[in-house]
Structure 1
Amino acid sequence: MKKEALGKLVDIKTGKLDVNAGTEYGKYPFFTCAKTVYRINQYAFDNEAILVAGNGDLNVKYFKGKFNAYQRTYVIENKEVNLLSMKYLYYFMETYMIHLRNGAIGGIIKYIKIDHLTKAEIPLPPLDDQKRIAHLLGKVERLIAQRKQHLQQLDQLLKSVFLEMFGFFDKTYTNWTIDTLTSHTEIVSGITKGKKYKTDELIEVPYMRVANVQDEHFVLDEIKTISVTKNEIKQYRLLAGDLLLTEGGDPDKLGRGAVWQNQIENCIHQNHIFRVRVNDKSRINPDYLSALIGSPYGKSYFFRSAKQTTGIASINSTQLKKFPIVIPPIELQNRFATIVEKVESIKTHYQQSLNNLETLYNALSQKAFKGELDLSRVAVLVDVTP
């Protein structure tokens, strides 16, 4: 398939505005390097464009109409409308973004130069085939967005059910016993990486990193291992029902954690993660405890207690041990845990569907940009917005 340097097909500009130029209820979209699209009352562009974040996570967006842009956001405009479909370019840039991230320059804040865009080699099938590819990938992308929305709705459902069941809407939770977390749990920080051992009798085991522990779920697609002693395995080994909490990060991520269900055998945890193990499950249900800590009630406590520096907040074991745990009747906690189990079963179904769709999208996009996709049964549709 013929390829062409992107710079020969498009004009690439940048916005002129400071990142803080937006207005909350502005009339027009304001594109910065964030994934979120903000608003503004003045527009500088009125066309069909691809927006590429010049730093940060280097995301890509498509828009047609009046808008404005931050000075580190690249605005790509088509100058060869008979050769290039902008929606096809959008989906090409989605796949090319992996290359851009790998080639990004810098440390914590990565950035790309205009050459990374102008020198990109884009495959150029016939214009109608480009539109077919955009239509096909767009359908799969919308299904992916739908599955993600379903998962978010289920998470919101659980949070609302929790607040309603345990009286956090009308403050009736204050009628129940409130005690310190340390009175009902064992709280342990994890293994320190990079330790030096005097023995060669080490055992390699999987361990949970901060990146693995998210809000109410685990991300287990990349599991790393560490070599430790037999005693350390015994000390740090995770058991079903353990609540894992990260010690810090962005302020809105305080209290981030999930209940371990023994997804990985003989797994331990690193020192930036707290393991909270309930002493008596006839008094405290781990699913209830996890929801309590992750609720507005829990996050409010951690936000007040945390040490904060330059946008990073962290808690220590002393603050965690003092967490004021509300203790409703165990029957009510168990009823909530049953709801959690049912919702998690539905989420597992949606997550598998999402994984399959993302695999399909990746396979289709790879074939499409190699010219290996059979497009004979794909209709040519106009104006399919990503």
Structure 2
Amino acid sequence: MSIAKANKLPNGWRWVKLEEIADKSHYALSSGPFGSNLTSAHYQNTGVPVLRGLNISDGQLSLEDLKFISEEKAKELARSEVKPGDVVVVAVGASGLAFQIPESLPRAIMSQNFNKITPDLSQVNAKYLEICLNSDIVQSQLKQEITDTVRTFLSLTKLKDVEIPLPPLAEQKRIAAIAQKADRLRRTRRYALQLSDTYLRSVFLEMFGDPIANPKGWKTKLLDEISEVQGGLQLSQKRDNLELKLPYLRVANVYRNKLDLSEIKIIGLTKEEFIRVKLQKDDILIVEGHGNAAEIGRCAVWDGSIKDCVHQNHLIRVRVNLKIVNSAYLSHYINNSGGQKYFHTSSNTTSGLNTISTGIVKQCIVPIPPLPLQEKFAQIVQKFERIRTQQREGARQAEHLFQTLLHRAFRGELTPQDSNDEPASLLLEQIGAEQAQAEAEAKAATQTMGDAAEYGGTKAKQQDTEPI
């Protein structure tokens, strides 16, 4: 590929296509079963594990919620079997992310959400392959090959042609060992962010009870009764000729209680459309369509940070009546078990794409606690958000350090070429210092959030006993 060839490699390195370094065994390069060959109807309580899109969480492989199929069915799907040492690449959803199958998963069948590479270990180290595929230099290639729709897709055919830089095996192992230390730092930073999510869910449950059971007996209303629900703009080439051009939000910008505004696109629209879909601060944006069923209905509160911003039709806007419900409370309710269960069971699936309609959103039942209690929760969320801003910056710096290390590795700079080269030991010292700081910050944040959770729970109990 042009991107690959533009990067000069050190002596002894070469560019290779993934199909050139795959094992020669049958199904060394394969994809997950298509369509009806593997559905939820095949799942059972025990048997051979199935690796699904739901097992990708926050950019990491999770084995906490595995489904199973019979041995007989697994034999039918032998071409999609994965084992320790295989490297799987996400094909649908978070397309392009690569993971090495761990020893803790002796055998599994991957779903249609994945492609698989069984590496030829005489040429490539499996850990190096995983790290290399997740590097910026290879991800930039993958982005060119991914079908960029609401259901992003990376085909096995295109994956085979992706090129990676391949050093001698000894250097691969050296790079992998150093990169794993930097990766540990990345994971620590991500773990701190996950902790804050966990604590916010705990505070929500303490203050409002289980969203499904509603043990506090809050009155309920349909979302349509407490808000205005609005669909967005459908993309088309005809919009290129419209005079009005404005920024718009899409699925890639909205996560659970979090916005990612790193890439904002522009859309053409009429003045009438602008009036209809213009976003206001405290609007809630709900994901309408996704290849991963677990992501249907995820939402975040719009912060108003971009002037005259609108939204695409794969996001549904909810403009709440702030005299009845707080946006932060409603967003966390939808992203909690109550909302997740409703949208998951109400969604429709066509050709692997899961969708919900504005009608389904309007019929979502929402418990309505006293507004002061909702606002108290919003204050805690705001306090947590300040912590999370610091954590996100730490995560960004850790990612930058990781990618910088890989860029140096691919230039051969981890092996000193002369006495003036900076030794790899200095990099390891920097990573070690960052790791110690990250762990200390995570511990401090845990204490702060624990105090907030205890405070929120106390206020909730007081609210329960105070007259409304």
TM-score (norm 2): 0.65
The equivalent position to 1:369 in structure 2, one of 396, 400, 410, is 410
Aligned pair 1:267/2:312, yes or no? no
Shift of 1:287: 0.5
What residue is the counterpart of 1:123 in the other structure?
167
- Mapped to 2, the partners of 1:170 and 1:50 lie a distance apart of 39
Structure richer in helix, relative to its length: 2
Instruction: Flag the 1:69–1:101 CA change in 2: closer, same or farther, 3 A.
Output: farther
Pick from 224, 227, 231 the counterpart of residue 185 of structure 1. Answer: 227
Task: Say which SS state the counterpart of residue 306 (structure 2) adopts.
Answer: coil
Q: Please give the secondary structure, in 2, of the residue aligned with 1:225.
A: strand
For structure 1, which segment, 15-24 or 183-192, has the greater mean C-alpha deviation from structure 2 after superposition? 15-24
Please name the residue that 2:264 is paired with: 223
- CA gap of 1:219–1:331, structure 2 versus 1, over 3 A, is same
- Asked whether 1:91 is paired with 2:131, we answer yes
Residues 193-227 of structure 1: CA deviation (Å, up to 9, x unaligned): 33858x96x32210011222222212222210012
Question: What CA deviation, in whole Å up to 9, does each residue of 1:276-327 have, x standing for no partner?
Answer: 1122x23211101111222222223333433344554332222222222211
Alignment partner, residue 341 of structure 2:
300
Shift of the 132–379 alpha-carbon distance from structure 1 to 2, 3 Å rule, reads: farther
Written as runs of structure 1 = structure 2, the 5 A alignment for 1:72-87 is 73-79=116-122, 87=127
- For 1:325 and 1:210, the matched residues in 2 are separated by 23
- Residues 91 and 153, structure 2, Cα contact 8 Å, conserved in 1: no
Partner of 2:298: 256
Segments of structure 1 that go 5 or more residues without pairing to the other structure are 382-386
When residues 93 and 154 of structure 1 are mapped into structure 2, their CA distance, relative to the original with a 3 A threshold, is same
Q: 1:2-37 CA distances to partner (integer Å, 9 max, x unpaired)?
A: 22466998855455899779998789x998998647
User: Using a 3 Å threshold, how does the CA distance of structure 1 residues 90 and 256 change in structure 2: closer, same or farther?
Assistant: closer
Distance change >3 Å, CA 300–CA 116, structure 1 → 2: closer
Match of 1:384 in 2: none
CA distance in 2, matches of 1:109, 1:350: 31
| More strand by percentage | 1
Q: Distance in 2 between matches of 1:233 and 1:100?
A: 36
- Supply the AA of the counterpart residue of 1:122: L
Cα gap change, 1:113 to 1:195, in 2 (>3 Å): closer
Query: What is the aligned partner in structure 1 of residue 201 from structure 2?
Result: 159
**TM-aligned CA distance change 1:337 to 1:196, over 3 Å:** same
Alignment correspondent of 1:321: 362
Distance in 2 (alpha carbons) for counterparts of 1:303 and 1:10: 37
| Alpha-carbon shift at residue 263 of structure 1 (Å) | 2.3
1:32 touches 1:69 (CA, 8 Å); kept in 2?
no
AA matched with 1:283: I
Q: Note the aligned Cα RMSD (angstroms).
A: 4.3
Tell me if the contact between 2:325 and 2:368 (Cα under 8 Å) persists in the aligned partners.
yes
Question: Identity, % of aligned pairs?
Answer: 30
Read off the aligned partner of 1:61 and give its amino acid letter.
Q
**TM-aligned CA distance change 1:183 to 1:360, over 3 Å:** same
The 3 A distance-change label for structure 1 pair 69 and 104 is: farther
Distance in 1 of aligned mates of 2:62 and 2:306: 38
- CA distance 1:305–1:153, shift in 2 (3 Å): same
Identify if the C-alpha distance between structure 1 residues 93 and 268 changes in structure 2 by more than 3 Å, giving closer, same or farther.
closer
CA contact (8 A) 2:138 2:164 kept: no
Question: How many angstroms apart in 1 are the aligned matches of 2:91 and 2:337?
Answer: 32
TM-score, scaled relative to structure 1: 0.77
Count of residues in Structure 1 that have an aligned counterpart in Structure 2: 369
Answer yes or no: is the 8 Å Cα contact 1:54–1:113 preserved in 2. Answer: no
Aligned to 1:111: 156
Superposition map of 1:141-160 within 5 A:
141-160=183-202
Instruction: Determine whether 1:356 maps to 2:397.
Output: yes
Letter in 1 for 2:219: T
Conserved 8 A contact 1:14-1:75? no
Unmatched runs of 5 consecutive residues or more in structure 2: 1-9, 415-420, 429-468
| Residue identity opposite 2:122 in structure 1 | K
* 1:239 to 2:280 alignment: yes
User: In the alignment, residue 320 of structure 2 is paired with which amino acid?
Assistant: V
